[in-house]
Amino acid sequence: MSYDWIRKYQTVSRLTGFNVADVLEKSFDRNVFMENDGTAAVIAERLFGVGKRLNNFVYLFLDTMIGGGVVYDGDVLRGTNSNAGGLALMRIDSPGQGSLL
């Protein structure tokens, strides 16, 4: 399974290009499935939360980004870059430079 989107969308620049899924699969000899935090959260809500009884919903949360996930017609939407529910990184201005919160 290819996880190229993980290597492209890093907020920690020195980890860009590092594919944690490959490392974990080789280290533990197990299949590894990776999701971004918003998609993982909406999957959990769909399986264990209020989403169990809903076929269409959006799950939003505020963390290092405004994120979330989307369930449509009972299926989790991932989008082209596996970030269908992600809205934006939160940029903050600190004295002398901008940074990501």
Strands 65-72 and 57-62, sheet pairing: antiparallel
Closest CA to 54 of 62, 66, 46, 65: 46
Active-site residue, 37 included: yes
CA 8 to chain centre: 13
Per the residue annotation, which of 22, 37, 75, 93 is the catalytic one? Answer: 37
Q: 38: Cβ–Cβ under 8 A, 6 or more apart, which residues?
A: 59, 61, 67, 68, 69, 83, 85, 86
Residues taking part in catalysis: 37
